[in-house]
Amino acid sequence: MKRIFTLLGIATAFAYSSQTIQQVRNMSVGATVTVRGVVSNGSELGAIRYLQDGTAGIACYGNNLSSLTTGDSVTATGVLFDFSGLLELSPTNSFTDHGPVTPNVPQVIPITSAGEALESQLIRIENVTFVQSGNFAGGNSTVQITNGANTLDVRINGSTNIDGTAIPAGPVTITGLMGQFNANYQVVPRSLADIVPYVAPAREINVKINGTTALNNTTYVIGNTANNVITIENSGVQTLTVTGTSITGANAADYTTNLNATTVAGLGSGNFTLTFAPTGNGTRTATLSIANDDSDENPYVITLSAVGLDNLATEPTTNASNLSFSNLQAYTLTGAYNAGNGAEKYLVLWSKNGPVSGSPMDGTSYQRGDIIGNAKVAYSGSSTTFVPRGVRANQPYHFAVYAFNGPAGFENYKTTNPAIGNTTTTGLNVGNYYAGINAQSPTFLGDLSALINPHTFISYFNYKQTVMNQFEVSDTTNGQSFVTCVYTGENKVFNDPFDWSATGYSREHTYCHSWMPTFPCDNPEEPEYTDQHNLYPTNLANANSYRSNLPLLEITGNVLFTFLEGSVGYNGNQMCYEPRDAQKGNAARSIFYQATCYNGQNGLNWSLPAYQDQESLKNWHFNDLPDSYEIARQEYIFSVQGNRNPYIDSVEFVCHVNFANMSYLAENCNLGIEEQLSANFSVFPVPSRNQVFAQVNNTNITAYSVTDLSGRVILESSNLELPVLILDGAQLNAGKYLLSVQTPFGIAQKSFVIE
């Protein structure tokens, strides 16, 4: 529910917004958060506003933010969202404008410090030149700046007064917001006033430790390095005077330096020593303060973080506790737990194969997707909430949460009494969506079309931000991600954020664009071109290009091309594409949906091409019923596009449509009793590593048998009365099996796979 905080509700809002922006940045995408910060830009950058507090910055997106201007103090609530690498509150559901305060002061940084740590903060880079010459392009464009050795993207927004103007030819100082697009970081200036000729300052201090810039008011990790080099750089033209240094804090006695009163000539530098000699175990912190005559960075303060004699951080006193779950959907869930005493961070493990086994090892860094025992890492960070990626429908998930402290390589995990819990995601949530729809009525097809169209329009470009980032992309080891080609089964591994070009993937129209009566309908984009029910991720070169606009059929003749589980060949005299078995029913239902959704619009008939045999698709539909992936995808798309694919929700709807001419069929499917049972028989997950769940809707399973491909019985049992059958897949070797279940109404069969 949207809520705009009133002045009377400010105290409540502040209590809810107890987390800093830095803490929020460590939370999972999909979490709803509240932050308070000062706005760094106004309408010159469009519908986005960048907020900053003393810890970090974050972008907020939404047309409802149009009244906010630079310097406004704001409390904002929204959903964490990854927009091509930029972390945003999108949508920003509500905000309170507390009025103007002192605007954010840009952080002066070297070009080499532009990166994730400063994302969405106001920064300034001095003494750089533009790589390009001439004029900035009209509209949105990207150019580069360089310091002679390094380059950085500059994003010019067409909504500013910069586009179309002359690109400065000499050295400049550029101010802007630290942005990101895909793998590239970029500075985003707000107006021409942010790009000015460079004038060398009188004095400008920069501090490096062991060759790496340690920005003012940040933390530098010493780790266990005994001898360190402090470099004081002065990019000003006059002599910089350091009047003294101090080391204070809990473990100040562990640190010594010979950096005292000194001078650094204009454009010069000087090296000094910082020695770390721990006197105890655990985390050892101190604050280094450098007094100097740089007018805007005095003192220059760096927090030093190190570990003691045991080479580990201090272990938390107690673990996280009271793990609970909310927002249970077919495609997502949110976990929350109470903080552990003395804990900085948390490692969340999850498993679909029973309770989490194994525990993290001290001194080992784990990233999302890494495997520990029978579980994977769902989250690692400082937040007490998490939203795992790759959630699917009707799945039991088990979790364990471990508190820990320490930087990478020096982690100390509290491995006793972790917070544990389990939950099961939901399935189809049809509700009363089809109220008034009667499959026995001659108006059935038109009624169905009117129900699912119109719907919320989402552009083809935004498919990456919605279905890809929020649903298709899952975790693998080493902090990487993967996406599956729906046609071939290829699992493409990549480094976040997802990018179509870098992965070689595309958005495949299952109902081909060229089949559409409105073809071409991509410029401008029409709803039928961008409909998310019809789009799937595929390998561009080895799946999408070969499928082209071929019909989807079984190959009965010569095979012309194969990539993994997808092939091009002949069905009789018709060249066709045959996708992997797991996608056949999904593809059929997407084609049926597309034809139904847009049929009759503008008087056009969306019947299938003569070479796309509907009976083949209907056979695929019944032989590959919706699984946990497709059900989750249905519910996710419903949540963003606002309409459903009726052929996922009701198996028999296809029986009443002649897709060859888009007419109503009065007859029923005339399924035999065992065909009806099979149509209502679900086995999930597919594939599985351990537990396999099976159910036949509206009846109990009284006996079952599992056979391998040779027909040998592997498992069997009788005299049962089970609404859901749970098989222990650990008893089975990797491979394909046939599950046969007995019910009071007959036998149903379906294959499943153990990885």
Q: Give the model confidence (pLDDT) of 210-223 as tens digits.
A: 999 999 999 999 99
- If one compares 5 and 493, the residue with the highest pLDDT of the two is 493
* Displacement of CA 300 from its chain's centroid (Å): 36
How much is the average pLDDT of 516-543?
97
Token pair recorded at residue 585: 């029913």
Q: Is the pLDDT of residue 312 over 90?
A: yes
Pairing between β-strand 151-156 and β-strand 184-188 as defined by DSSP bridges: parallel
259 contact partners, CB below 8 Å, separation of at least 6: 230, 232, 242, 245, 272, 273, 274, 290
Give the amino acid at 614.
Q
Same domain, 268 and 219: yes
The H-assigned helical ranges of 603-708 are 614-623, 628-641, 646-649, 673-679
Residues 459-490 have pLDDT tens digits of 999 999 999 999 999 999 999 999 999 999 99
Residue written as token pair 């045959």: 578
How much is the average pLDDT of 620-640?
94
Domain extent, residue 87, equals 7-100
| DSSP code of residue 106 | P
Token pair recorded at residue 546: 């070969």
pLDDT value at position 676?
63
Same domain, 419 and 363: yes
545 contact partners, CB below 8 Å, separation of at least 6: none
* Average pLDDT value over all residues in the chain: 92
Query: Quick one: which of 504, 471, 526 has its CA closest to 639?
Result: 471
First-to-last C-alpha distance (Å) of the chain? 42
CA distance 751 to 755: 13
CA distance 567 to 580: 8
* Displacement of CA 61 from its chain's centroid (Å): 17
Token pair recorded at residue 427: 């399935």
Q: Which of 28-37, 385-394, 411-420, 645-654 has maximum average pLDDT?
A: 411-420
In angstroms, the Cα distances linking 371 to 348, 376, 519, 567, 689 are 11, 4, 47, 33, 14
pLDDT value at position 8?
26
Residue written as token pair 């003294």: 244
How buried is 163 (Cβ within 10 angstroms: 0-12 exposed, 13-18 middle, 19+ buried)? middle
672 contact partners, CB below 8 Å, separation of at least 6: none
Same domain, 648 and 679: no
How much is the average pLDDT of 72-85?
92
Q: Does residue 433 lie within any of the structural domains?
A: no
Q: Does residue 737 lie within any of the structural domains?
A: yes
Same domain, 217 and 349: no
pLDDT value at position 14?
32
Other beta carbons within 10 Å of 170: 8
342 contact partners, CB below 8 Å, separation of at least 6: 314, 315, 316, 317, 318, 405
Q: Does residue 439 lie within any of the structural domains?
A: no
| DSSP code of residue 6 | P
Same domain, 184 and 259: no
In this structure, of 486-490, 510-514, 693-697, the range with the lowest mean pLDDT score is 693-697
Under the banding of pLDDT at 50, 70 and 90, the label for residue 670 is low
How much is the average pLDDT of 552-572?
97
Same domain, 121 and 162: yes
CA distance 736 to 739: 10
Side-by-side strand order, sheet with 691-696 = 681-684, 691-696, 725-728
Q: Is the pLDDT of residue 749 over 90?
A: no
Same domain, 634 and 557: yes
Under the banding of pLDDT at 50, 70 and 90, the label for residue 241 is very high
pLDDT value at position 365?
97
Q: What CATH number is given to the structural domain containing 86?
A: 2.40.50.200
In angstroms, the Cα distances linking 261 to 205, 230, 240, 297, 406 are 14, 14, 11, 16, 33
pLDDT value at position 78?
92
List phi, psi (to 5°) of 726. -120, 115
How much is the average pLDDT of 44-61?
95
Judge contact between 295 and 203, C-beta under 8 A: yes
How much is the average pLDDT of 336-352?
96
CA distance 178 to 175: 9
Same domain, 147 and 193: yes
CA distance 629 to 627: 5
Q: What CATH number is given to the structural domain containing 167?
A: 2.40.50.140
CA distance 109 to 329: 44
Same domain, 463 and 601: yes
Task: Tell me: cis bond preceding 418? Omega within 30 of 0 counts.
Answer: no
How much is the average pLDDT of 480-505?
96
CA distance 322 to 282: 27
Percent of the chain with pLDDT over 70: 96
Q: Which of 272, 307, 342 is the last residue of a domain?
A: 307
How much is the average pLDDT of 11-38?
74
Token pair recorded at residue 173: 């100082």
pLDDT value at position 3?
25
Residue 587: which H helix or E strand, with range?
helix 581-598
Q: Which of 100, 117, 144 is the last residue of a domain?
A: 100
Q: Which of 424, 456, 477 is the last residue of a domain?
A: 424
In angstroms, the Cα distances linking 97 to 38, 72, 73, 78, 628 are 10, 7, 6, 15, 43
Token pair recorded at residue 491: 């699992």
Q: Does residue 516 lie within any of the structural domains?
A: yes
Same domain, 159 and 132: yes
How much is the average pLDDT of 547-575?
97
pLDDT value at position 671?
56
Q: Is the pLDDT of residue 15 over 70?
A: no
In this structure, of 23-32, 290-299, 345-354, 444-453, the range with the lowest mean pLDDT score is 23-32
Residue written as token pair 């396999």: 692
Q: Is the pLDDT of residue 5 over 50?
A: no
pLDDT value at position 2?
27
Q: Does residue 429 lie within any of the structural domains?
A: no
Q: What CATH number is given to the structural domain containing 402?
A: 2.60.40.10
Helix, strand or coil, per DSSP, at residue 729: helix
How much is the average pLDDT of 186-193?
97
pLDDT value at position 9?
28
Percent of the chain with pLDDT over 90: 81
For the chain, the domain total comes to: 6
Q: What CATH number is given to the structural domain containing 726?
A: 2.60.40.1930
Q: Is the pLDDT of residue 389 over 90?
A: yes
pLDDT value at position 201?
94
Same domain, 371 and 244: no
Query: Read out DSSP for 331-375?
Result: S--EEEEEPPTT--EEEEEEESSSS----PPTT----TT-EETTE
Q: Is the pLDDT of residue 700 over 90?
A: no
Q: Does residue 237 lie within any of the structural domains?
A: yes
Q: Does residue 344 lie within any of the structural domains?
A: yes
